[in-house]
Amino acid sequence: MRIELDLTGLPVVRCRFPSEFDEDEVHDFFERYIAFLERGERFVGIWDFTETRIRSTARLRKIGSNFIERLNARPRQLSAAAIIVTPHALWRGAMTAILWVAKPRAPTHVVSSLDEGLEVAQFIASEALL
């Protein structure tokens, strides 16, 4: 299953990761995400790993870290915030490790449920007047 980039709830953008995916799918998703950024719209991103069942490998953490560095190199910050959703404590730890290695420019919240993530995203979007 493909990693989903859902723009139907703009200014909240949901990136939904399926139960399993490989490095090629991650690269494809990152390219689609960069293409979305080229539109120049402000947004709040939800990175939904609720269904993900794969292990966080050093290689995937490196890919994620490189992606954040690529985003940070962009001249304009479009994301008001990012919310990472995962019910798995190990994944929350992996996300924390990625964020420690490559610090994002936007505030980033790691939460354990999609409902909590949506609530945080809607609050931030309303506060940022998106």
Q: What is the pLDDT of residues 54-84, one digit of tens each?
A: 766 788 778 887 887 887 777 677 989 999 9
Q: Where are the beta strands (DSSP E) in the chain?
A: 4-6, 12-16, 43-48, 79-85, 108-111
Tokens of 25: 């799918």
Q: How far apart are CA 10 and CA 26, in angstroms?
A: 22
Residue 59 CB neighbours (<10 A):
10
Q: Please give the residue that has the higher pLDDT: either 63 or 123.
A: 123
Residue 115 CB neighbours (<10 A):
10
Q: How far apart are CA 23 and CA 89, in angstroms?
A: 22
Give the total number of structural domains in the chain: 1
Average pLDDT of the residues in 95-99: 81
pTM: predicted TM-score of the whole model, two decimal places: 0.82
Q: How far apart are CA 85 and CA 53, in angstroms?
A: 13
90 φ/ψ angles, rounded to the nearest 5 degrees: -65, -40
pLDDT on residue 102 = 72
pLDDT on residue 97 = 82
List the domain range (segments joined by +) for residue 62: 4-127
Q: What is the CATH number for 106?
A: 3.40.525
Helices (H) and strands (E) in the chain, counts: 4, 5
Q: What is the pLDDT of residues 13-53, one digit of tens each?
A: 999 999 988 888 988 999 999 999 989 999 999 999 999 88
pLDDT on residue 94 = 81
With 80 as the cut, is the pLDDT of residue 126 above it?
yes
